[in-house]
Amino acid sequence: MSDEEEDFDKEEFVTLISSDGFKFIISKEIAEVSGTLRNMLGTSFQEAESNRITLHEIDGVLMEKIIQYLHYNFQYKDQVDVPEFDIPTEMALELLVAADFLDV
């Protein structure tokens, strides 16, 4: 019974681990906004089995912002009046590189 529950949880959620060891547990649906994560989770890689993805090039602060964006994208897709997504200027370039990697 508890095993089944665990399986259920695994189906729904993904753990993203940043380079400095922060864990972010988000729903799979939201993680799949990112093309890279979607591909990772859709294959027979180890990541798809364990639903844990370690992203060595992205630190916690950056990861938090990216996850904010994933939620933002998920919430507002197919809508007309979308509020702007706020990014601190100093983060822009790092975020761009990370976004490039994650394909978002």
Partner 1 sequence: MSRRKADKKENEPEVRGPNSALTAFLREQGIDAGAIRRRYEQSLLTERNEQTSHLYEQEDESFEENEIILAAIEKRRRKRAEANADGSYSDSSFSGDDLKDSHYCMNCDREFRITVYSKKVEKDGKVGYLCIKCTRFQIEQEGRKKKAAFEARKKRKKLASALLNRQELKIPSLQDICIKLLSTHIDDVHALGDISVVSMNKISRILSKNRSLNNRTMMLFLDATLKHLEFWDCSNIDMAYLDKITTFCPKLESITLNMCGQLHNSNLISFAQNLLSLNSVVLNGPFLISEPTWIQFFELMNEKLRLFHVSNTHRFSDQCLQSLLTNCGGRLESLSLSRLDGLSSKAAYDVLPYHLKNLKLLDLSNPFKENLIDDNLIISILSVNGGSIETLLLDGCSGLTDLFLVKGVKKFCPFLKRISLESLDQVTDNGFTQLFDGWNINSGLIEVNLKRCSGLTDRGLFTFLSHSASSLVSLNLNSVYSLSRTLFETLSRTLRFPLLTTLDLGFVRSVDDKAIAILSRICPKLKELEVYGNNRCTQRARIRRGLKVLGRQSDSI
Site residues for partner 1 per CB under 8 A: 66, 69, 72-73, 76-82, 84-85, 87, 89, 92-93, 95-97, 99-100, 102, 104
* Smallest gap from residue 25 Cβ to partner 1 (A): 20
* Smallest gap from residue 80 Cβ to partner 1 (A): 4
Token pair belonging to 88 = 């601190």
* Smallest gap from residue 98 Cβ to partner 1 (A): 8
How many angstroms separate the CA atoms of 60 and 19, rounded?
A: 7
Choose between 2 and 89: whose C-beta lies nearer to partner 1.
89
Q: Residue 63, class by beta-carbon neighbours within 10 Å (0-12 exposed, 13-18 middle, 19+ buried)? A: buried
Strand-strand pairing, 23-27 and 13-17: antiparallel
Choose between 45 and 76: whose C-beta lies nearer to partner 1.
76
Choose between 20 and 100: whose C-beta lies nearer to partner 1.
100
Choose between 12 and 103: whose C-beta lies nearer to partner 1.
103
Residues 6+ apart with CB under 8 A from 25: 13, 14, 15, 16
